[in-house]
A and B are shown apart, each in its own frame.
Chain A
């Protein structure tokens, strides 16, 4: 019986092999789709071969591939949101690969069907567990406070919590703010914020897209526990010179772009001016920030793309000189070179060479001087091979040479000097397999090596397996899930009681500290409720080991080994997103439920970013005559804090005064045992576009916190009276904001 079965299996295999060998010739159709007016590569363009069930969707670089096309004549239809549909006829002869470059002409009329079809195509093609992408338009249409901001837009997505109006730091699915990998054109960034964290440094005008992977991210990403934010800048206009200038209450900005031989460039910059304005009226507030970016892109051949990107940002507050100087300065200097090569329709490589310098200085006269900087040179390379239809195999390497320096000098001999040259290297392999029309599976494996050149005993090796899948219940619904292990080798130093996360000081893993480790388990369901409405819900569980935070009581005689304390933690919850697009009216509703706990020094508590419920409504409505309305309502349940239940005189010997004295001190409740009141806020905006000749003038009015909700940031106590008086420190009040931008 067994022999018979084996014989049958062998026969089937032989037949299958013969069929494979004798199959009809088939060719691959590939190419790139570009904007006809600017020459920019277009992502999410739907390419369909009319009358067949064949088609493709362009990737972020505008590239598409329709594999294994039988010989014959075809009509290729291609379309994208905001563009007139295009059509081309092609003839496939034998198995010769065909490359067809396509272009789309922008259309002033929004065609909702196109967007829906593109989203459906993505739904069918990608696993996309916990992946949320904001396009250039969505980034610009989220209401803003003073300045439009990427991080503020991301905070409207499910699973993303913020703790304050005065911080753009993100807490993703119960993870801490330093557990997010932020990539700008392939460069990992540590503190991409202005004004102490109120704004991100990313100017939405220069961004092509931002993809947030809130969990279960694939093997090509590593080095952080919670999430990945992959930000890509757009290419400049390769057809003609254009530019824009703009101003808001906070800053002015300008950008210019245009063609260069075989490519394009853009330059962009902004700077605050209130230091200059206040100086005119006789008030000295020597603070400013600026950021500037530039990019040159060249396409020396149909299959080659080269680009060089540079970015600078600087925040500086400098008051006084010498022993009376107060200096606060931080910034980023970033550069990357990209080489993207399509070796064939099925094989491509993408390689980044990166440089990043982050620095932070704080100096208070001769009493306090902290210098922190990170310098990194990196290589990030990935090869993609498409095989057997839509299956993909990817492999790559990441290598960095970094130098961290944290040098704190305080009057009286408190000195901390942490210098390290970490060398993280990682290799990864991942695949996208489609074993049947109902399944998409993405397995992956990442191997990380980490060493400090001055502390070779810190060498660490870690394997991080990843797996995600999607099961199509039917054409409109799918179940998806992911599991994975993640490691992190750097930490931000800030006290955990701070109401605002302070992502300025970073230290690498050193001494006996172990890598932070986390596991993600995600299961979700996605469905199209009707033609225009997409519903996605995901449940997750995450656990953490060796998570590091700044020690509450470091020992001066062993600062390095007691600076951080290790703990454990977990979070679980669910994220729901309902996204609807009626054409002129679009938006999304999100709800996030999250339970997060950490355990340090045998004490388990909810961290101060544990927001149990978050509810967002985001809407954008395009009106006739160039008006556009935007709105965002956000609700968040109260954050944990350690409340004050009593007070006492804390007597001590005052060495500075040589006598005893007291100050009032508080009796705290249990660690984070209380919660602040709930948070909610409505922001509205209106935008009007004026066409002046061939130029466009955009005027914007935004109103933050329309109903002037007094959202609490923290309580503090006034002990000058008895019983002490609790004082509330509120967040942003009602705040109107104006902006104007001229595109030429």
Chain B
């Protein structure tokens, strides 16, 4: 059984001779601490000052940004070219930058579609009299501006259509069928937009997304009775990735950020009755 009361203290000198060398060094350090307890706060304060300096490095460098969503249902495709700004730099009033060279071509094709700058600075459009992109085709979008250059391959999903309900169908709010549509080749995800009678904006800010070709609807979705618009979008791999939470922009070249992709759309309208 060990003695629990305090034993008489022995001098450090007498103890040293019994100890291994490593212990002596450690113990000596503590003896210095013991005899210089007042130095402890000073030492700590100095070490705090020394170690606590954490530089906040600013590693900003300018980047070009590119946006486009190819849609075969549109007559003209749009590409927006812009740039980043240093956090303490005022941004330009325009939507983007001018002077960019924007080109689009079908993969393995020599025909290049040139885009021209529109009246809105930063917006570039093709000049074809009809839609220059087709479903189920792969295109290369190439953008250059002031030394930046980016290139990306985009595959347009196939067209598709609603199977149920059909356009102009009347539905009972108490007996709503699930929305069903045909499969779109190359589609990674579907998004549904529901618009109120006479409106264009979606009834819900939350996205209605699915990877199936059906989606249940609930009576609570319809506030009033009347004509509602149902719009389904089939998204390609790029747009699917961009719409995920926490998405960061694609890098399509050195210092080139992009949010590009393609979708196809089908829209119908239905009448909701009691």
Decide if A202 is an interface residue (CB 8 Å cutoff).
Answer: no
Which of A117, A125, A525, A637 contacts B5 (CB under 8 A)? A117
B13-45 interface bits toward A, Cβ cutoff 8 Å, 1 = contact, 0 = none: 001000100010011001001100100100010
- Which B residues touch A107, using CB under 8 A? none
Decide if A411 is an interface residue (CB 8 Å cutoff).
Answer: yes
Known contacts: A57-B4, A117-B4, A651-B82. The answer to whether A656 contacts B51 by CB under 8 A is: no
Give the interface segment out of A251-259, A355-363, A668-676. A668-676
CB-based contact A650/B88 at 8 Å:
no
Question: Which residue of chain B has the shortest Cβ distance to A413 in the bound complex?
Answer: B210
**Nearest CB on A from B126, distance (A):** 16
B70-97 interface bits toward A, Cβ cutoff 8 Å, 1 = contact, 0 = none: 0000000010101111111111000110
Which of A67, A657, A662, A667 contacts B63 (CB under 8 A)? A667
**Nearest CB on A from B176, distance (A):** 15
- Which A residues touch B189, using CB under 8 A? 556
**Nearest CB on A from B100, distance (A):** 14
Which of A53, A410, A495, A593 contacts B1 (CB under 8 A)? A53
CB-based contact B82/A475 at 8 Å:
no
CB-based contact B27/A477 at 8 Å:
yes
CB-based contact A650/B91 at 8 Å:
no
Which of B44, B82, B208, B263 contacts A615 (CB under 8 A)? B44
- Which A residues touch B87, using CB under 8 A? 644-647, 666-667, 717, 723-724, 726
- Which B residues touch A346, using CB under 8 A? none
- Which A residues touch B58, using CB under 8 A? 643, 645, 669
**In the complex, which residues 171-204 of chain B have their Cβ closer than 8 Å to any Cβ of chain A?**
189, 191-193, 200-202, 204
- Which B residues touch A20, using CB under 8 A? none
- Which A residues touch B192, using CB under 8 A? 412
Complex CA gap A260/B183 in Å reads 73
Decide if B159 is an interface residue (CB 8 Å cutoff).
Answer: no
**Nearest CB on A from B211, distance (A):** 6
Complex CA gap A555/B83 in Å reads 30
Question: Which residue of chain A has the shortest Cβ distance to B8 in the bound complex?
Answer: A475
- Which B residues touch A412, using CB under 8 A? 192, 204, 206-210, 215
**Nearest CB on A from B68, distance (A):** 9
Count class of interface residues, chain A: 35 or more
Complex CA gap A495/B246 in Å reads 10
Which of A125, A556, A653, A724 contacts B209 (CB under 8 A)? A556
- Which B residues touch A678, using CB under 8 A? 52
Known contacts: A648-B84, A657-B201. The answer to whether A66 contacts B1 by CB under 8 A is: yes
Complex CA gap A475/B246 in Å reads 58
CB-based contact A613/B201 at 8 Å:
no
CB-based contact B54/A390 at 8 Å:
no
Most A Cβ at <10 Å: residue of B4, B87, B202:
B4
CB-based contact B15/A474 at 8 Å:
yes
Decide if A389 is an interface residue (CB 8 Å cutoff).
Answer: yes
Complex CA gap A601/B95 in Å reads 35
Decide if B227 is an interface residue (CB 8 Å cutoff).
Answer: no
Complex CA gap A660/B77 in Å reads 12
Decide if B269 is an interface residue (CB 8 Å cutoff).
Answer: no
Decide if B239 is an interface residue (CB 8 Å cutoff).
Answer: yes
CB-based contact B202/A655 at 8 Å:
yes
CB-based contact B201/A656 at 8 Å:
yes
CB-based contact B83/A120 at 8 Å:
no
- Which A residues touch B26, using CB under 8 A? 479, 525
CB-based contact B91/A647 at 8 Å:
yes
CB-based contact A723/B90 at 8 Å:
yes
- Which B residues touch A54, using CB under 8 A? 1, 3
**Nearest CB on A from B245, distance (A):** 8
- Which A residues touch B82, using CB under 8 A? 648-649, 651
CB-based contact A670/B85 at 8 Å:
no
Question: Which residue of chain A has the shortest Cβ distance to B265 in the bound complex?
Answer: A658
CB-based contact B4/A653 at 8 Å:
no
CB-based contact B67/A652 at 8 Å:
yes
Complex CA gap A488/B132 in Å reads 56
Most B Cβ at <10 Å: residue of A495, A613, A653:
A653
Complex CA gap A477/B33 in Å reads 13
- Which A residues touch B205, using CB under 8 A? 656
CB-based contact B95/A649 at 8 Å:
yes
CB-based contact B4/A669 at 8 Å:
no
Q: How many residues of B contact A (CB 8 A)?
A: 80
Complex CA gap A635/B67 in Å reads 46
Question: Which residue of chain B has the shortest Cβ distance to A323 in the bound complex?
Answer: B220
Decide if B264 is an interface residue (CB 8 Å cutoff).
Answer: no
Known contacts: A367-B206, A647-B84, A648-B82. The answer to whether A613 contacts B51 by CB under 8 A is: yes
- Which B residues touch A68, using CB under 8 A? 1
Complex CA gap A389/B47 in Å reads 46
Which of A410, A591, A660 contacts B78 (CB under 8 A)? A660
Decide if A527 is an interface residue (CB 8 Å cutoff).
Answer: yes
Decide if A403 is an interface residue (CB 8 Å cutoff).
Answer: no
Decide if A102 is an interface residue (CB 8 Å cutoff).
Answer: no
- Which B residues touch A117, using CB under 8 A? 4-6
- Which A residues touch B54, using CB under 8 A? 612, 637-638, 674-675
Complex CA gap A527/B83 in Å reads 62
- Which B residues touch A434, using CB under 8 A? 2
Decide if B231 is an interface residue (CB 8 Å cutoff).
Answer: yes
Complex CA gap A555/B189 in Å reads 12
Which of A46, A437, A479, A644 contacts B4 (CB under 8 A)? A46
Known contacts: A529-B34, A647-B85. The answer to whether A120 contacts B56 by CB under 8 A is: no
CB-based contact B91/A722 at 8 Å:
yes
Complex CA gap A414/B215 in Å reads 12
**Nearest CB on A from B82, distance (A):** 5
**Nearest CB on A from B93, distance (A):** 9
A421-439 interface bits toward B, Cβ cutoff 8 Å, 1 = contact, 0 = none: 0000000000000100100
A619-649 interface bits toward B, Cβ cutoff 8 Å, 1 = contact, 0 = none: 0000000000000000101100001111111
Complex CA gap A552/B2 in Å reads 56
Most B Cβ at <10 Å: residue of A473, A527, A678:
A473
- Which A residues touch B244, using CB under 8 A? 553, 555-556
Known contacts: A413-B208, A473-B23, A553-B244. The answer to whether A655 contacts B51 by CB under 8 A is: no
**Nearest CB on A from B45, distance (A):** 9
Known contacts: A655-B191, A657-B201. The answer to whether A645 contacts B51 by CB under 8 A is: no
Complex CA gap A120/B9 in Å reads 13
Question: Which residue of chain A has the shortest Cβ distance to B257 in the bound complex?
Answer: A648
- Which A residues touch B65, using CB under 8 A? 648-651
Decide if A89 is an interface residue (CB 8 Å cutoff).
Answer: no
**In the complex, which residues 45-68 of chain A have their Cβ closer than 8 Å to any Cβ of chain B?**
46, 48, 53-57, 66-68
Complex CA gap A191/B63 in Å reads 44
Which of B1, B215, B242 contacts A389 (CB under 8 A)? B1
Complex CA gap A678/B67 in Å reads 40
- Which A residues touch B242, using CB under 8 A? 652
A519-553 interface bits toward B, Cβ cutoff 8 Å, 1 = contact, 0 = none: 00000010101100101000000000000000011
Decide if A366 is an interface residue (CB 8 Å cutoff).
Answer: yes
Question: Which residue of chain B has the shortest Cβ distance to A555 in the bound complex?
Answer: B244
- Which B residues touch A57, using CB under 8 A? 4
Other than the given A646-B63, A655-B207, A658-B231, 13 more pairs (CB < 8 A) read A48-B5, A56-B4, A366-B218, A411-B204, A412-B192, A434-B2, A535-B33, A556-B189, A612-B54, A615-B44, A648-B83, A651-B80, A655-B193
* 29 A-B pairs in the complex with CB atoms less than 8 angstroms apart: A53-B1, A67-B1, A117-B6, A120-B6, A125-B2, A390-B1, A410-B206, A412-B206, A475-B9, A476-B9, A535-B34, A557-B211, A578-B40, A591-B44, A612-B54, A613-B47, A613-B48, A646-B63, A647-B85, A647-B91, A651-B259, A653-B263, A657-B202, A667-B60, A667-B87, A717-B87, A723-B85, A723-B88, A726-B87
| Chain B residues with a Cβ under 8 A of chain A | 1-7, 9-10, 15, 19, 23, 26-27, 30, 33-34, 37, 40, 44, 47-48, 51-52, 54, 56-60, 62-63, 65, 67, 69, 78, 80, 82-91, 95-96, 189, 191-193, 200-202, 204-212, 215, 218, 220, 231, 233, 239, 242, 244-247, 249, 257, 259, 263
- 3 nearest interchain CB pairs? A651-B67, A55-B4, A53-B3
